[in-house]
């Protein structure tokens, strides 16, 4: 676990995984919200996901600068974060050393 915090890429991978999980949890909670008419189901997961998404973007910018990634690679990583399971794909295809 300490390897994740030792580099910008490690932090990006960790935050990306956490953000991806929070996105999936939010999608499940949104389904529950609309099928069971329970709007409170998305309040906390939504805030957590929002905070993790902002953190992901900041860590992505840090990795972009640190590793001198092309704008294309960083844009693909950002766009992948907008798609369910996209962060997991980006972790495998873009963020592995």
What pLDDT sits at residue 97? 61
- Could you state, in order of their start, the residue ranges of all structural domains in the chain? 8-93
- Per residue of the chain (97 residues), give pLDDT as tens: 556 678 999 999 999 999 999 999 999 999 999 999 999 999 999 999 999 999 999 999 999 999 999 999 999 999 999 999 999 999 999 998 6
The CA–CA distances, whole Å, from 74 to 21, 32, 57, 89 equal 20, 33, 10, 14
What pLDDT sits at residue 18? 97
Choose among 72, 83, 84, 82: nearest CA to 94. 72
Residue 82 burial class via C-beta count within 10 angstroms: exposed 0-12, middle 13-18, buried 19 and up: exposed
């Amino acid at each position: 676990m300490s390897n994740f915090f030792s580099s910008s890429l490690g932090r990006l991978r960790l935050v990306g995984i956490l953000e991806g999980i929070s996105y999936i949890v939010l999608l499940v909670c949104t389904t529950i919200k609309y099928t069971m008419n329970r709007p409170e189901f998305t309040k906390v997961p939504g805030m957590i996901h929002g905070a993790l998404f902002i953190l992901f973007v900041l860590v992505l910018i840090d990795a972009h600068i640190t590793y001198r990634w092309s704008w294309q690679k960083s844009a693909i990583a950002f766009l992948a974060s907008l798609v369910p399971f996209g962060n997991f794909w980006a972790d495998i295809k873009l963020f592995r050393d």
